[in-house]
Amino acid sequence: MSWQRLVTTNHRGAVVPRVLGIALAAVAAAATVLFAAVRDLGSAGWGALGGMLLVGAAGLVDDLAPSGPRGLRGHLRALTSGRVSTGILKLVVTSGSAVIVVALQPPRPGVVSVAGVILVAASSNVWNGLDVAPGRALKVFLVPAGVFAVWGAAADAPAILGLLAGAVVALPFDLRERAMLGDAGANLLGFAAGLTIYDVLPDPWVLVGAAIAVALNVVADTISFTRVIERTPPLRWLDRLGRRP
């Protein structure tokens, strides 16, 4: 691994640092610490931050590692041949973090909690698939984070609201191609988004959300989000909004 890999060439051929994920993780941590300094945070809040930081760290390892297999199927093929890729490391860390974070949330029926783990873990990889165009992953994150800001539980609020504020500040840098999220940022945002969705959805809809998150992973690994977005005029307009021509 090399820290020089945090600087990469984007789709336009410009050299761009992949540092927005590190900045977002720092903002989430700072927001949580500041909140805890004035009132009791509880295990759910600390667990949410810990899970996000672990997932972000696993993504950072992927950013720093030499290029390897692409897509979930590519990583699984590498595993069957006896090679543990950084993608498999992310899968293990993300799944384990999802189990712990959901377990620390207020109790819900067992099947809902299991679906919540799937939802949170799968969402992390969904955002990884979104982060192939400037600003796309951040724009999509603003939707569940904004809903959470209105209806979410206060126990998770510091880290997620910190990410929401950080995403608003980071978006112009991503859109103008001055910095990138990298896997560290994309996986962190997806994990947080999955947790926000789990928090605000009623029990039956958590199962629906988990099924949609899994389906989106299949789409990302087979058809690609870009192809779907480019063929859907409203999505195409939103996706290009604010980007360089």
Residues 78-136 have pLDDT tens digits of 556 656 567 778 889 999 999 999 999 989 999 999 999 999 999 999 999 999 899 99
The answer, yes or no, to whether residue 171 has pLDDT greater than 90, is: yes
The model's pTM: 0.90
pLDDT attached to residue 71:
56
Domains identified in the chain, total number? 1
Q: Which domain holds residue 165?
A: 16-240
Asked if residues 34 and 158 have their Cβ atoms less than 8 Å apart, the reply is yes
| Per-residue pLDDT band at 11 (split at 50, 70, 90) | confident
Q: What is the pLDDT of residues 31-80, one digit of tens each?
A: 999 999 988 888 889 999 999 999 999 999 888 876 655 555 555 565 56
The answer to whether residue 8 sits within a structural domain is no
Rg (CA), the chain: 17
Measured CA to CA, the distance from residue 36 to residue 154 in angstroms comes to 12
> Is 5 inside any structural domain?
no
At 125-140, the pLDDT tens digits run 999 999 989 999 999 9
Does the residue 90 lie in any domain?
yes
Residue at 7 is within a domain: no
Domain-located, residue 232: yes
CA 143/CA 153 separation, integer angstroms? 16
- For residue 6, being part of any structural domain is answered with no
25 or 245, which is more confident: 25
In a domain, 11, yes or no: no
Coil, strand or helix at 1: coil
More confident residue, 61 or 190: 190
> Tokens 């989430």 correspond to what residue?
28
User: Among 212, 202, 42, 41, which Cα is nearest to 108's?
Assistant: 202
1 belongs to a structural domain: no
